[in-house]
């Protein structure tokens, strides 16, 4: 039996499956820590590479355009500063990526809990419909077996 509530629930489930279902199930396949670690590896790598490119541009500008003498510079101190800049950039982007991935993971978990609640609601609707149908069948069976009931058809009306 199709009811309005059943149609609404099935429509909500279908919209979720179409829009968010596939990616959410992939994300849900990971533990939270593993998902964050996997997503942050690319963030750390890209942040480190970007910081290294910026440091390289800084060094090229310092040596070529400002005319700094490489022999007069304190290379150990400058390289230490450059390395600390790269590490700091990686750390900052790692924290930002961790917060973003944690938020995304929890939103996925929230959507999946809602999806699970909708599937349970649909099961309850189907169970109630089956119980109603069974009650109607048993009532019809009791009515037919307990009396000399003759169903009224067009032919019986004509004869009377």
Tally of structural domains, the chain: 1
Q: Is residue 150 a part of any domain in this protein?
A: no
State pTM to two decimals.
0.68
Instruction: Check whether 95 has a pLDDT greater than 70.
Output: yes
Q: Is residue 144 a part of any domain in this protein?
A: no
| Residue 151: predicted pLDDT | 58
Q: Is residue 157 a part of any domain in this protein?
A: no
Domain extent at residue 44: 4-131
- Of the pLDDT bands very low, low, confident and very high (cuts 50, 70, 90), residue 110 is very high
List Cα–Cα distances, 69 to 61, 78, 83, 115, 140, in angstroms.
12, 13, 21, 65, 103
Give residue-wise pLDDT tens across range 126-155.
999 889 889 888 888 877 665 555 555 555
Instruction: Check whether 2 has a pLDDT greater than 60.
Output: yes
| Residue 8: predicted pLDDT | 92
Q: Is residue 80 a part of any domain in this protein?
A: yes
DSSP codes joined into one string, 43-63: HHHHHHHHHHHHHHHHHHIII
DSSP code, position 80: H
Instruction: Check whether 66 has a pLDDT greater than 90.
Output: no
Average pLDDT over the chain reads 86
Q: Is residue 149 a part of any domain in this protein?
A: no
Q: How far apart (Å, rounded) are the C-alpha atoms in residues 66 and 134? A: 90
Q: Is residue 153 a part of any domain in this protein?
A: no
Give residue-wise pLDDT tens across range 18-43.
999 999 999 999 999 999 999 899 88
Q: Is residue 106 a part of any domain in this protein?
A: yes
Q: Is residue 44 a part of any domain in this protein?
A: yes
């Amino acid at each position: 039996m199709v009811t309005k509530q059943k149609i609404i629930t099935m429509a909500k489930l279908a919209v979720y499956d179409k829009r968010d279902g596939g990616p959410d199930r992939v994300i849900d396949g990971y533990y939270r820590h593993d998902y964050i670690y996997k997503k942050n590896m690319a963030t750390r790598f890209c942040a480190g590479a970007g910081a290294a490119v910026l440091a390289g541009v800084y060094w090229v500008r310092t040596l070529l355009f400002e005319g700094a003498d490489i022999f007069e510079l304190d290379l150990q101190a400058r390289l230490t500063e450059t390395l600390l800049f790269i590490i700091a950039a990686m750390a900052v982007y790692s924290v930002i990526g961790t917060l973003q991935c944690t938020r995304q993971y929890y939103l996925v978990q929230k959507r999946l809990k809602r999806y699970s609640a909708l599937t349970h609601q649909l099961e309850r609707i189907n169970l109630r419909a089956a119980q109603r149908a069974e009650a109607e069948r048993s009532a019809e069976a009791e009515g037919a077996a307990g009396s000399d009931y003759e169903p009224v058809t067009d032919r019986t009306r004509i004869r009377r």
